[in-house]
């Protein structure tokens, strides 16, 4: 790391390694992004989906060698990701196994070789594996990371992502899906919605005026009709409280939404 003053934090992760002569082709058939196109040392975000395009796991795929990939996912998803990849491996010549590593998140600065870019927090950031934070590094705490994640409109599994949500609703098409690669589970409904339809709701950032943080699934109301639900919330010096919420597409950008104990307004991103 080039500077000991950069903010750092442990980034809880589970890790699944896929390696072998058919690792690249097998992964490309299973996940939503074009991992075969990665050069060694590059990475991309991807999703493992059900045939109905519901999210099984989010991940970052890092290509460590021609036939060697490391998948970084949320701590609670590691075993399921490994299980699902093994379940459909059949005769593909690759090994799928969990590994233990430590991920150190660094905000800002120039990433060293083999650093893994991280887009979750709306600022330049990267992850380093199996290194200690340098002496004097500034530690960024979990509440601040959560605030940055919300302002960046980054969905997290178990909060914004569950079996009710499609990737397009969560804003994951641009960052985790290729529309030019070959088939993968869930491709048909993903492509159909992308080319022929439009998601009925989308993930938005809200500024909330309330005495306390709204809870998960708190209902948003406009003119007496439920138009959305809150998924995450955090305190923020500029807005008091910021939150992520799924909001119906037809809700005006300048609408004032009611919720239990307060009101909210949309502050980003602009609806497409």
Instruction: Give the percent of the chain with pLDDT over 90.
Output: 89
| Average pLDDT of span 141-159 | 97
**pLDDT tens sequence across 246-256:** 999 999 999 99
* pLDDT recorded at residue 264: 98
- pLDDT value of residue 271: 60
- Is residue 270 predicted with pLDDT exceeding 80? no
Report the distance separating Cα 228 and Cα 147, nearest Å.
20
Question: So what's the pLDDT on residue 1?
Answer: 45
Q: In the predicted model, what is the mean pLDDT of the chain?
A: 95
Per residue in 199-243, pLDDT (tens digit) is 999 999 999 999 999 999 999 999 999 999 999 999 999 999 999
Domain ranges of the chain: 7-151, 201-267
- Residues 181-210, mean pLDDT to the nearest whole number: 94
What is the predicted pLDDT for the residue at 50? 96
Q: Which CATH number fits domain 7-151: 3.40.50.920, 3.40.630.10, 3.40.50.720, 3.30.70.1400?
A: 3.30.70.1400
Check pLDDT > 60 for residue 3: no
How would residue 136 be classed by pLDDT, with cut points 50, 70 and 90? confident
For residue 224, what are the contacts with CB-CB under 8 A and spacing of at least 6?
none
Architecture of 201-267 per CATH? Beta Barrel (2.40)
pTM: 0.94
* 1-10, 167-176, 182-191, 206-215: the lowest-pLDDT one: 1-10
The tens digit of pLDDT for each residue in 7-20 reads 999 999 999 999 99
- The mean per-residue pLDDT over the stretch 84-111 comes to 95
DSSP conformation class of 260: T
At 2, is the pLDDT very low, low, confident or very high (cuts 50, 70, 90)?
very low
**Long-range own/partner contacts, residues 215-224 (CB < 8 A, 24 or more apart):** 216/159, 218/259, 218/260, 219/259, 219/260, 220/245, 220/247, 220/257, 220/258, 220/259, 220/264, 221/257, 221/258, 221/259, 222/251, 222/255, 222/257, 222/258
Residue 126 confidence class, pLDDT cut points 50, 70, 90: very high
* Per-residue pLDDT at 113: 87
Nearest to 159 by CA among 74, 239, 240: 74
> pLDDT-derived band of residue 133, with 50, 70 and 90 as boundaries?
confident
- pLDDT tier, 152 (very low <50, low <70, confident <90, very high otherwise): very high
Distances (CA, A) of 219 to 169, 226, 235, 259: 17, 7, 19, 6
Residue 26 pLDDT greater than 50, yes or no: yes
Question: How do residues 41-55 score in pLDDT, each as one tens digit?
Answer: 999 999 999 999 999
């Amino acid at each position: 790391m080039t500077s000991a003053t950069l903010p750092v934090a442990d980034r809880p992760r589970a890790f699944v390694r896929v390696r072998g002569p058919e690792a690249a082709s097998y992964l490309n058939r299973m996940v939503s992004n074009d991992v075969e196109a990665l050069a060694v040392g590059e990475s991309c975000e991807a999703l493992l989906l059900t045939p109905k395009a519901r999210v099984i796991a989010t991940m970052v795929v890092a290509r460590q060698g021609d036939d060697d990939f490391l998948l970084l996912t949320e701590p609670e998803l590691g075993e399921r990701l490994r299980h699902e990849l093994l379940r459909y491996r059949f005769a593909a010549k690759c090994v799928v196994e969990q590994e233990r590593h430590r991920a150190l998140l660094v905000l800002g600065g120039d990433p060293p070789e083999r650093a893994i870019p991280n887009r979750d927090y709306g600022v330049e950031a990267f992850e380093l594996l199996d290194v200690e934070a340098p002496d004097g590094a500034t530690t960024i705490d979990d509440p601040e990371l959560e605030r940055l994640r919300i302002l960046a409109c980054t969905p997290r599994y178990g909060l914004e992502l569950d079996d009710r949500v499609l990737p397009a609703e969560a804003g994951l098409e641009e960052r985790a899906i290729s529309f030019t690669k070959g088939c993968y589970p869930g491709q048909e409904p993903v492509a159909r919605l992308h080319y022929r339809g439009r998601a009925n709701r989308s993930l938005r950032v809200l500024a909330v005026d309330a005495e306390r943080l709204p809870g998960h699934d708190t209902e948003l109301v406009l003119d007496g009709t439920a138009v959305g639900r809150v998924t995450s919330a955090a305190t923020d010096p500029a807005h008091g409280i910021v939150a992520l919420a799924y909001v119906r597409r037809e809700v005006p950008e300048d609408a004032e939404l009611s919720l239990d104990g307060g009101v909210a307004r949309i502050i980003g991103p602009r609806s497409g």
